[in-house]
Amino acid sequence: MTEIQVGRAAAGPAAVGRPPDRPEVPAIELEGVVKDFVSRGEVVRAVKGVSFSIAEGEFFSLLGPSGCGKTTTMRMIAGFEEPTSGRIRLHGVDVTDVPPNRRDVNMVFQSYALFPHMNVWENVAFGLKRKKVPEPEIRRRVGEMLEIVGLTGREKSRPRELSGGQQQRVALARALVNRPRALLLDEPLGALDLKLRQQMQLELKRIQREVGITFVYVTHDQSEALTMSDRIAVMNDGAVEQLADPREIYERPATAFVASFIGTSNLLSGQISAISGDVATVRLGDRGRVLLNGGGHRLGESVQITVRPEKIRILPGEPEGDVSAVPGVVSEVVYLGTYNSYAVTLDGGAEVTVFEQNAHDSTGTAERGDSVWLSWQPHHSYAIGSASSR
């Protein structure tokens, strides 16, 4: 892992970051990357020591709210920002000090950044021309790429004559035609409307599979990240809160931030009052109990538990058996098409959201003002690890 491919780096202007022969070397590696900005004389730490590695061919997302450092992290991978400290490696080659035009990664910009004075063809051919690829090969590759993104026939159009979705495809083609070792995408679908965005999500995924290139995708849209990614790094306040696959992120959020940022989540806190086998019980109010799996808990320990709205069932009476059971009053019912959303106020005043699918043509299980019991399986309770220590 420590072997540095200097010989390859010297091979040509665009050769930095070419893959070494061993496939297990990650496509992108960040090691303790820190970025400080100076704003009005004050040092602001935008990225606070981020480390992760992205495998070859992976669809990797950086997800977080605006200002969390995800875009800065990506810009450091692209070479537009220099890390204050830490190292960045592409295929094992340290590129921390290599300028963007000599890194073998390409970027799709948020606003596309298409050259307004060039037509579609000239935009897409720009990178190949700078790399002095022979003219016949440029013609062939640009033609192929325009076909992949479905823009054959629009070669002579100027960017401003294209729709947002088409401009997006030009930006994608302009980057991909260079066959970069990794493609960086900075909120590329942000400017599109919902329908087109969903269509492009699937399209991006298809193209990624087709070209087999590592994608690093920056987004603040959690559903987008969940839909497309192999793995997601959830960032908050300049640090990675959790790095895992979408299912893990959704089902087992590592921190309260991840739980609340990804989807809708219910947070309940209490103390462990009983442990039997590998099931711990948390008392909630006078009558409620929350069961959770997994050992490692101590009696009397304070825990924060998340449970997803769609895992909870609404029952008219107290359920029997080894399930969580919490009483409350329905305070709101919202019809949302494919499902109903219930807000249930617990005895202690906490509010819990419950989703119930409209699988049957019923009008719903409960109405506003009903006294109900909420119930879910022990393995759907998830105790947030070190939430209190952050």
The binding site for other proteins (CB under 8 A) comprises 13-14, 78-80, 99-102, 106-107, 109, 111, 113-117, 126-127, 130-131, 158, 160, 174-175, 178
Q: How far is CA 126 from the centre of its chain?
A: 30
CB of 205 to other proteins, least distance (A): 23
CB nearer to other proteins: pick between 74 and 240: 74
Q: How far is CA 180 from the centre of its chain?
A: 21
Q: In 81-106, which positions are buried (b, 16+ CB within 10 angstroms) versus exposed (e)? A: bebeebebbbbbbbbbebeeeebbbb
**Among 180, 14, 16, which Cα is nearest to 5's?**
16
Contact of 323 with 377, CB cutoff 8 Å: yes
The residue to which tokens 């590129």 are assigned: 95
Q: In 326-357, which positions are buried (b, 16+ CB within 10 angstroms) versus exposed (e)? A: bbbebeebeeeeebbebbbebeeebebbbbbe
CB nearer to other proteins: pick between 160 and 247: 160
CB nearer to other proteins: pick between 217 and 257: 217
d(CA 45, CA 22): 35
Q: Would you tell me how many other CB atoms lie within 10 Å of the CB of residue 161?
A: 12
CB of 131 to other proteins, least distance (A): 5
- Partnered with residue 357 across adjacent β-strands are 339
CB of 375 to other proteins, least distance (A): 52
CB nearer to other proteins: pick between 108 and 383: 108
CB of 285 to other proteins, least distance (A): 54
**Among 209, 132, 116, 126, which Cα is nearest to 174's?**
126
Torsion of CA 105, 44, 385, 348, to 10 degrees: -130
**Hey, what are 77's tokens?**
């991978």
- Partnered with residue 16 across adjacent β-strands are 103
CB nearer to other proteins: pick between 101 and 264: 101
CB of 336 to other proteins, least distance (A): 38
CB of 34 to other proteins, least distance (A): 22
Q: Would you tell me how many other CB atoms lie within 10 Å of the CB of residue 260?
A: 14
Q: How many separate helices (H) and strands (E) can be counted in the chain? A: 9, 20
CB of 80 to other proteins, least distance (A): 6
Contact of 1 with 91, CB cutoff 8 Å: no
CB nearer to other proteins: pick between 130 and 368: 130
d(CA 51, CA 323): 39
Coil, strand or helix at 210: helix
CB nearer to other proteins: pick between 99 and 348: 99
d(CA 129, CA 139): 10
CB nearer to other proteins: pick between 77 and 303: 77
CB of 106 to other proteins, least distance (A): 6
CB nearer to other proteins: pick between 120 and 323: 120
CB of 322 to other proteins, least distance (A): 56
CB nearer to other proteins: pick between 113 and 343: 113
CB of 114 to other proteins, least distance (A): 8
Provide CB contacts within 8 A for 223, sequence distance 6+: none
